Each structure stands twice: as structure tokens, then as C-alpha cells.
Amino acid sequence: MFFVDVILPIPVEQAFTYRISEAEYSFIKPGMRLAVPFGKSKVYTSLAIRVHREEPRIYEAKEIEQILDETPVVGLSQLSYWKWMANYYMATLGEVMRAALPGAFLLESETILKRTGNQTSEDFDLEDEEALAILEAFEGKSILRISEVMQLLDRKKVLPIINKLIDKNLVALDQEIYEAYKPKLVKYVRLAEAYKSEEKMHEALDDLDRAPKQREVLLTFFSLQAGSKKPVKTKELQDRAQASTAQLKALIDKGIFELYEIRQDRISYKGAEDTEVKSLNEAQAGALEAIQESFNHHDVCLLHGVTASGKTEVYVNLIKRYLDQGKQVLYLLPEIALTTQLVSRLQEYFGNKLSVYHSKYTVHERVEVWNNVLNQADKAQLILGARSALFLPFSNLGLVVVDEEHENSYKQYDPAPRYQARDAAIVLAHQQGAKVLLGSATPSLETYYNATTGKYALVELKKRYGNILMPENTIVDIQDRHRKKKMNGHFSEDLLGAINDALAEGEQVILFQNRRGYSPVLECKTCGHAPQCPNCDVSLTYHRHREQLRCHYCGYHIAMLQKCMACGSAELDTKGFGTEQVEAELKELFPDLNIGRMDSDTTRGKFGFEKIITAFEQGEIDILVGTQMLTKGLDFRNVTLVGILNADNMLNIPDFRAHERSFQLIQQVSGRAGRTQKRGKVLIQSYNPHHQILQQVSVNDYEGMYHEQLEERHIYKYPPFCRLIKITLKHRDFQKIEEASAWMGQALKNVFNDQILGPEPPPISRIRNEYHRNILVKIPRKQSLEKTKKAILKVRTTFSSIAQFRSIKIVLNVDNY
Ligand code: ADP
Ligand code: ZN
Ligand code: ZN
């Protein structure tokens, strides 16, 4: 008898064994997908990992349904990478598989399909009767489950047909329905080269004596250009000059104006010349050689370069070297949604060699990239992606660049595997014999520690490109401004003055507030009651635009209250403020300006970010208000002022990294100011202006921050001086969670003594009606991680064997920070 072991994409510990025929035995290779029955009636896509002839002892092996691939879609080296990940992050192989494979590879009986497009089956060469039957079944129905297709065709072997329909774009997986966004083409006018001299200009104005309206258009153009450095839109010009399209066209025909459109959907303020490959300046060239040299003795190098020092150009040059050697390169980014700017920059250099791997792309696109990487196609030599791109089937990887390596979105929180993509990238590179370049202006403490103690190489860029000065930082004491009545809403006179100055110069402004919504707390002035989420232990956030109170943890919402729920008083007060309120105040203060807002409320959908970023780049938005989304490596040329509305709430978050994070956030958001020519300004409003972190930020003292924070980590035993594993217990019953977490805490203390912190309720101790308790295991560097994990798993096994604890959910999070 012949058997195959498979991984199922579900959280079970072991692999499952199925029966196969002799022919299948010689055909199936590890890494091929097989459709297999599971449970009573389910069908899953599984992955073969081994064929053999040993019959399982405890259960009778079922037969597989079908082989789905002719050649493996996953290589042996990926499988061993998955094993490492499952083991290190205490997840199952099935969980890793689910995270790793594109959704389209994992069709299962519960998958929901939608009909796409309006093509009919006749448009396609579908001889297949069954495929036609499936399409017919969609009539009068918007969705179909794969299980329904199985019923329809009266058999279980349906996945290949469905794959075919997906390939032909006739049906799609449900999660793939996204709004379509067509970037609009905006038309601009500029003066023709020949008319740029003063002399020629006077000539032109004289010539236009007999066409007064055209003359007026030209003069209006000058006044628009004088008032701001922004490019002039045709529409704007026509509106201002009250001119017709024909009049504008006449000026274009005369060769005085030139019309231009924005290529793709972005504009370059310098015109076309900066699309060429840039040659590096001395500092950049030195850094590039130092990095290359460091790879002779180190596998990992940190490029610590201040904001706008030109790190991206260094990456580009390094990447080029690896591509020239025929190697694959992976460029990791914290959040792919924010990368339009980078994508177009890299496309200019690498053209078709670049592929983007994006969780918001369609099934189609993702599978295509996957297959291109698998086949080492030219199109996928350079992959730009967020953390899930680690799982692509690389076989010839030469370099991994981890951009903004300090970003916490590299950490996957839910579901398992809860991996840290930067760290996992280093393991991947090691396995593939590749090198890693980590880049940041504000490296994480762990990385900087590794780079200064010799584990990683360290290369620095200390000046901004073009010797532009770092922005000038000013801390504004808002307690003092309140006392002196120099506050207007949440704006100090200092900040308002600076905004006015920047706008007067035709420049743009970024304002940062680390909270969305209008205000996080609504409080009754009479009795002090604040409405809470019924499912979570948090107060509801007021969203004025929708007149709602919303929970940011579970999505619960109710209409805004008119009266206090507790005492009926109509006097309700809002406490604290979010981006929505900042935006509202700005609209009152500057009614003529365009105010934009970028936070997770305004950026839903595939192109949410792009729309806002493009509008800001094109000068359609004067002031952009946002949350930490604003901090991520954006390069706007016309921003000279950054205002931080309130620096205190980040500093006060109860987390051992709060200070480090605040430093990074403020430094990164200030880094958006003054990236070209003019020195930028940053105003930081705080009630606590003498806070050490604010002082350090204001003089860009990364090293001062580093040494001080490192000292604290040393004293209180936190990374990098020890490792952490966080164990979270969840249950709906308060009494039960108290008992269970006490039991688990004690059991762990019996093994690890004082290395255990907790159990304790996290700051938000109930979410979606589940109570949470955390236990933190601190593992000294010298202690074996492997043995520690084994001991934890043993405690967990005993725990789960206690009847009354069986329903408690346990989440293990390795390196949970
Ligand atoms: P960082 O990634 O360090 O924040 P960037 O790579 O975005 O910095 O560079 C900052 C700005 O300087 C960008 O607008 C970029 O186009 C410009 N720049 C950087 N290096 C060069 C170069 N060698 N030649 C021309 N412009 C450069
Ligand atoms: Zn009340
Ligand atoms: Zn809630």
C-alpha cells in the first residue's frame, strides 16, 4: 500500500496520512497540492510533504480526492523554512501554510465564489459542459460555495474546473471584490521653454495686444505662479482668468504655453529629468561600498541614515548589482499600501524586472507573481512586498532589503504564525545564502544593539542628501500656552503662525495626531459617566462625521447620544481628540483651504492611500492631517512644516517600548519636512516639554536615546537582554479566566521562578466579550530557547487536560514586542 503525508491549512499539530495508488505514488512530489477529504464532508487543499509505504497505526487512511498540480508549487527549501517558522514561533505547519500560500491555492469546500465581469461564456472557449453548468448556476445568485458546486456536479473533484474559471476571470474568490480606481489625468500648463526669458515674454505680451483675453490669461498665469510654487492646472487657470478652453488653446497653439499631463498618476515637480538613474553623492557611494565590503564578513548590515539621506538610492544601486549577477532580490516594506511612491521610483530603474506582491492584489496577480518567482522568470527578479512576500518560492535569492526595519508592522499579531518579518527575513536569507540590508533612520533598539556589538555590520549616513539641514525642531509648552490664553482649540499660536507662514509661501503642511475619530471619550458633565463598549473594556470614540460612538476594538457602534445614559443630563463633554477633530478645527480656521485626512477611516479600499497621497503630491491638499500612517517613508517635496498636536499620549502608553516608539514616530514624521532645498520646521506640542525623549528628538539625538533606553532595558530585563514569550488566555467567563490564569501562572513559576510576570489583565482586559490575561516569560540570553519552549508546551498540555480549563483559548506569542 502507498501513502502520502500532507499538511492541512488548519491549526492541528500533525501531518495527516492518505492513501494513494502506485501510479500516484510515483507521480506525487513534496510541494504538490492534493485535494483531500477531511471530517464528514469537507474537502481541503493540502500540501504533500512525503510519500511512503508505512500504514498509519491509529486511524484508517482515506483516499485522496485528486492531485492538483503537475509539478510542485512549493520547493523543499520553503518546506524547511516553514518548519523553522512553525517551530520558532510556536505555530503549526498548517498555520504557516495558510499564511504562506496565496488564497487561490487553497480552495476548500467553504470558499465563496463570485461571478466576475460581464463576459459571457461564449466569449471564451469553454467546451467544458460542467464549466458551463457552474456559470449557469450563478444566474440569479450572487455567490456560490464550492460545496454547492460539488453538489451541482454530484462529485467532489471540482477544484480543477474552478481553477480554470478563475484563470479565465469568469469567477473570483469572494474576498477579491475591490473597488476599481482609475487615476484621473490632470492637465497642467507651463510656459514654453522659448518664452522663459524676460525679453521674449515682453514680446509675447506685446503681440497679444489685440487679444486682450489671451493676454489676461497669461498675466493670470504669472500671478498664480508668483503666489505659489505649485504647478498650474489648466482648470485653475481657466477659472481664475474666466477664460474659455478656446482662449487657452490659442495660447498653446501660439507656442507660448505647453500642455502636459501627469504620467501615470503622479507628478514630479522637477519635470522629466529626474527619472534618470541618479548618480550617488560621495557619502552614498561610500556607504554602498562599505555595505558591499561588510558582506565579506557579515551576513547582515544595518544602514543607519537620517531621514532624506538618500537611503533608497543606495538600496537601488546595491539591488542593481545583485540583479546583474542574476540573483533574486526581495525588498521588504512594512506596509505595502503606502508604497505607490516607491513602486514608481523602482519601476523607473528596474522596469519589468520588478513585481509587487500585495495582499490587496487579486488572486490572479498574486498567483502570477508566485509562479514567476517559482520559475525564476525575468519578470520577478526583484520583488517588492510586505511581510508575506517572505514566503514566495525563492530559489536563487541574493539579497533582502528590509526598509524601515524598526516598523512594528513587520510583526504579525494575528493569526498565527506570529512572526517578526525582519527577523524571519534574516533566517530566510541565511538559508538561501543571501545577504540582508536593514535600513532605518531610527533603528529598533535590538538592531542597533546587534550592529554596535558586532553581530551585524553598521554603515551610517549622517547628512541629508544635498546637505539640506535636518528640520528645526521646536517644543511648544501647551500648558503654558493655555495659561496665557494662547491656544485656539488644539492649536497653539506658535503652530498657527507657522502654518500661516508656510501657506503664504505656497508650501504644504503635515499635522500628526496619533488617534483617529473625533474624540476618544464622551463624558457627562453632571455625573461623570462615560459610555463604554458593551463587549470591550474601552470607552466609545465619538466620530462626528457619522454622528456615532464607535468601539475601535470590535466595531460596535451606536448613534451619538443626546443625553447621558446614566443620569439623563444633556451636558456632555468630549475629552481628548483625534484626527477628525483636528480636521474639523482646521476647516473652521482655514475655510478656503483644502484639508485632507489620512487615517484608517479614510483609507479603506485598495486605492484609499493612493488617492490621498496623489492629491497631496499634486497640491490639491494644502494641509494633511493623519495618524502614524504619515510616518512611513513618504517623500513629499513641498512640505516644509510638520506639526505634532500632542506628543504626550504616545509617551504614556504602558509598554516597555513606548519611549523608543515615540522617538521613532516623532523623528519619522518630522522627517517628512523640508526634504528638498528649504530647511523644514517641526513643532511639537506637549504638556510635558522637558520629557527626556522630546529633548532627545528635538536635537536628533538617536544615540542619546539609545543609550538611555538600553540602560533601562538592562535594569528591568527586557530585550535585547532577554527574550520574551507572551502567553494570553482568553475566555468569556470572568471567574474561569481568573482561576485558569492563576493556575497557569503558578505552574510556570514552578519551572521558571521569577522569570514569570503576571498573570495580569492587559490595559484593555476585555475585547469582544472575552476576558484576557497575560503571562510574560522572560528568558535570559543564556537560557536555551528550545528547552524553554518545550517546558511551556508541557505546561500547556497539562493545563488543557484539566477539564474545566479545556474551553480556554491560549495564544502563544514569541518575541511579542
Ligand atoms: P531616505 O530614504 O534616506 O529618507 P530618499 O532616498 O527618499 O531618502 O532621498 C531623499 C531625497 O533625495 C529624494 O527626493 C531623492 O530623490 C533625493 N536623492 C537622494 N539621492 C539622490 C541622488 N544621488 N541624486 C539625486 N537625488 C537624490
Ligand atoms: Zn450623567
Ligand atoms: Zn468593543
Three-state DSSP string of 370-381? HHHHHCCCHHHC
Calculate how far, in angstroms, residue 572's C-alpha sits from the geometric centre of ligand 2: 8
Calculate how far, in angstroms, residue 771's C-alpha sits from the geometric centre of ligand 3: 12
Binned at pLDDT 50, 70 and 90, residue 177 comes out as very low
Ranges of each domain in the chain: 2-107, 109-178, 193-255, 282-361+378-464, 472-518+577-710, 722-814
Give the chain's mean pLDDT. Answer: 87
Q: Please give the sequence-ordered ranges of beta strands (E in DSSP) within 310-404, or none if there are none.
A: 328-332, 354-357, 382-385, 397-402
HSE-CB of 491 using CA atoms within 13 angstroms:
22
CATH for 472-518+577-710 (3.10.20.30, 2.40.50.140, 3.40.50.920, 3.40.50.300): 3.40.50.300
Range ranked top by mean pLDDT from 84-93, 514-523, 575-584, 761-770: 84-93
Calculate how far, in angstroms, residue 397's C-alpha sits from the geometric centre of ligand 1: 26
Binned at pLDDT 50, 70 and 90, residue 109 comes out as low
Regarding the beta carbon of 313 and ligand 1, being less than 6 Å apart is answered yes
Regarding the beta carbon of 311 and ligand 1, being less than 6 Å apart is answered yes
Among 311, 635, 669, 702, residue to substitute to test ligand 1 (most atoms within 8 Å of Cβ): 635
Give the position of cell 463598549.
533
Helix (H) or strand (E) holding 598: strand 595-598
Res 96: pLDDT: 95
Q: Say which range, 202-206, 568-572, 711-715, 748-752, has the weakest mean pLDDT.
A: 202-206
Q: Which residue's CA is minimally distant from atom 10 of ligand 1?
A: 308
What's the whole-number mean pLDDT along residues 165-179? 62
Exposure string of 592-613, with b = 16+ CB inside 10 Å and e = fewer, is eeebbbbbebbbeeebbbbbbb
Res 629: pLDDT: 82
Regarding the beta carbon of 675 and ligand 1, being less than 6 Å apart is answered yes
HSE-CB of 387 using CA atoms within 13 angstroms:
20
HSE-CB of 330 using CA atoms within 13 angstroms:
34
Helix (H) or strand (E) holding 18: strand 16-20
Q: Which residue's CA is minimally distant from atom 17 of ligand 1?
A: 310
Ligand sitting nearest the alpha carbon of 538: 3
Among 275, 311, 312, 617, residue to substitute to test ligand 1 (most atoms within 8 Å of Cβ): 312
Q: What is the four-CA torsion angle of 414, 419, 425, 427, rounded to 10 degrees?
A: -160
Length of the chain equals: 817
Beta bridge partner(s), residue 598: 626
Among 464, 465, 631, residue to substitute to test ligand 1 (most atoms within 8 Å of Cβ): 465
Regarding the beta carbon of 281 and ligand 1, being less than 6 Å apart is answered yes
Question: How far, in whole angstroms, is CA 156 from its chain's centroid?
Answer: 38
Ligand sitting nearest the alpha carbon of 535: 3
Nearest atom in ligand 1 to 441's CA:
3
Nearest atom in ligand 1 to 635's CA:
7
Binned at pLDDT 50, 70 and 90, residue 94 comes out as very high
Regarding the beta carbon of 307 and ligand 1, being less than 6 Å apart is answered yes
Residue 551 annotated as part of some ligand binding site: yes
Binned at pLDDT 50, 70 and 90, residue 277 comes out as low
Q: Which residue's CA is minimally distant from atom 9 of ligand 1?
A: 310
Calculate how far, in angstroms, residue 311's C-alpha sits from the geometric centre of ligand 1: 7
- Kindly tell me if the per-residue pLDDT of 523 is higher than 90: no
73 within 8 A of 46, measured Cβ to Cβ: no
Q: Please give the sequence-ordered ranges of beta strands (E in DSSP) within 441-587, or none if there are none.
A: 457-461, 472-477, 487-488, 491-492, 508-512, 521-524, 541-543, 548-550, 557-559, 572-575
Q: Which residue's CA is minimally distant from atom 15 of ligand 1?
A: 310
Helix 76-88 and helix 421-432: axis angle, to 10°? 140
Opening angle at CA 517, ends 624 and 534, nearest 5: 165
Regarding the beta carbon of 345 and ligand 1, being less than 6 Å apart is answered no
Binned at pLDDT 50, 70 and 90, residue 54 comes out as very high
Residue 567 annotated as part of some ligand binding site: yes
Q: Which residue's CA is minimally distant from atom 1 of ligand 1?
A: 308
Among 313, 344, 678, 700, residue to substitute to test ligand 1 (most atoms within 8 Å of Cβ): 313
Ligand sitting nearest the alpha carbon of 569: 2
User: Higher-confidence residue: 533 or 338?
Assistant: 533
What's the whole-number mean pLDDT along residues 409-436? 96
Binned at pLDDT 50, 70 and 90, residue 18 comes out as very high
Calculate how far, in angstroms, residue 560's C-alpha sits from the geometric centre of ligand 2: 15
Nearest atom in ligand 1 to 281's CA:
23
The class that CATH gives domain 2-107 is alpha beta
Quote the CA–CA distance of 732 and 769 in Å, as a whole number.
6
What's the whole-number mean pLDDT along residues 470-497? 94
Ligand sitting nearest the alpha carbon of 549: 3
**In Å, how far are 156, 220, 393, 733 from 48, measured between CA atoms?**
19, 70, 16, 41
Q: Which residue's CA is minimally distant from atom 4 of ligand 1?
A: 308
Res 375: pLDDT: 92
238 within 8 A of 248, measured Cβ to Cβ: yes
Res 273: pLDDT: 33
User: Higher-confidence residue: 135 or 779?
Assistant: 779
pLDDT tens digits, residue range 113-156?
Answer: 777 765 665 655 556 777 777 877 777 677 788 778 877 877 76
Regarding the beta carbon of 310 and ligand 1, being less than 6 Å apart is answered yes
What's the whole-number mean pLDDT along residues 273-301? 87
Quote the CA–CA distance of 542 and 561 in Å, as a whole number.
10
pLDDT tens digits, residue range 208-243?
Answer: 888 888 888 988 888 887 766 677 888 888 888 888
Quote the CA–CA distance of 30 and 9 in Å, as a whole number.
16
Regarding the beta carbon of 465 and ligand 1, being less than 6 Å apart is answered yes
Ligand sitting nearest the alpha carbon of 539: 3
Calculate how far, in angstroms, residue 649's C-alpha sits from the geometric centre of ligand 3: 21
- Kindly tell me if the per-residue pLDDT of 74 is higher than 80: yes
Regarding the beta carbon of 635 and ligand 1, being less than 6 Å apart is answered yes
Q: Say which range, 192-196, 262-266, 464-468, 494-498, has the weakest mean pLDDT.
A: 262-266
Helix 212-227 and helix 234-241: axis angle, to 10°? 120
pLDDT tens digits, residue range 245-267?
Answer: 888 888 888 888 888 775 433 32
Q: Which residue's CA is minimally distant from atom 23 of ligand 1?
A: 280
Question: How far, in whole angstroms, is CA 249 from its chain's centroid?
Answer: 44
Calculate how far, in angstroms, residue 548's C-alpha sits from the geometric centre of ligand 2: 18
Regarding the beta carbon of 494 and ligand 1, being less than 6 Å apart is answered no
Res 274: pLDDT: 38
pLDDT tens digits, residue range 350-409?
Answer: 888 898 887 666 666 788 889 999 999 988 899 999 999 999 999 999 999 999 999 999
Calculate how far, in angstroms, residue 574's C-alpha sits from the geometric centre of ligand 2: 13
Q: Which fold has domain 282-361+378-464?
A: Rossmann fold (3.40.50)
Regarding the beta carbon of 278 and ligand 1, being less than 6 Å apart is answered yes
Q: Which residue's CA is minimally distant from atom 21 of ligand 1?
A: 310
Q: Quote the pTM value.
A: 0.81
Burial class (CB in 10 A: 0-12, 13-18, 19+), 648: middle
Nearest atom in ligand 1 to 312's CA:
6
Residue 301 annotated as part of some ligand binding site: no
Residue 533 annotated as part of some ligand binding site: yes
Calculate how far, in angstroms, residue 538's C-alpha sits from the geometric centre of ligand 3: 7
What's the whole-number mean pLDDT along residues 710-739? 95
Q: What percent of the chain has pLDDT over 70?
A: 92
Regarding the beta carbon of 305 and ligand 1, being less than 6 Å apart is answered yes
- Kindly tell me if the per-residue pLDDT of 539 is higher than 50: yes
Q: What percent of the chain has pLDDT over 90?
A: 53
Regarding the beta carbon of 280 and ligand 1, being less than 6 Å apart is answered yes
3-state secondary structure (DSSP) of residue 26: helix
What's the whole-number mean pLDDT along residues 672-680? 84
- Kindly tell me if the per-residue pLDDT of 186 is higher than 90: no
Residue of 305, 456, 284, 315 whose CA lies nearest to 384 = 315
Calculate how far, in angstroms, residue 552's C-alpha sits from the geometric centre of ligand 3: 6
Q: Say which range, 62-76, 278-292, 341-355, has the weakest mean pLDDT.
A: 341-355
What's the whole-number mean pLDDT along residues 622-632? 87
User: Higher-confidence residue: 205 or 461?
Assistant: 461
CATH for 109-178 (1.20.272, 1.10.8, 1.10.10, 1.20.950): 1.10.10
- Hey, CA dihedral for 302, 304, 310, 312, is it positive or negative? positive
Residue 722 annotated as part of some ligand binding site: no
Same fold flag, 109-178 and 472-518+577-710: no
3-state helix, strand, coil in the chain (%, to 5): 40, 20, 40
Quote the CA–CA distance of 455 and 435 in Å, as a whole number.
14
User: Per the CATH hierarchy, to which homologous superfamily does domain 722-814 belong?
Assistant: Ribosomal protein S10 (3.30.70.600)
- Kindly tell me if the per-residue pLDDT of 518 is higher than 60: yes
pLDDT tens digits, residue range 549-603?
Answer: 999 888 899 999 999 988 899 988 888 889 999 999 999 999 999 999 988 787 7
Burial class (CB in 10 A: 0-12, 13-18, 19+), 568: exposed
Res 69: pLDDT: 86
Res 741: pLDDT: 96
- Kindly tell me if the per-residue pLDDT of 103 is higher than 90: no
Residue of 497, 622, 511 whose CA lies nearest to 228 = 622
Range ranked top by mean pLDDT from 1-15, 77-91, 133-147, 669-683: 77-91
Calculate how far, in angstroms, residue 313's C-alpha sits from the geometric centre of ligand 1: 6
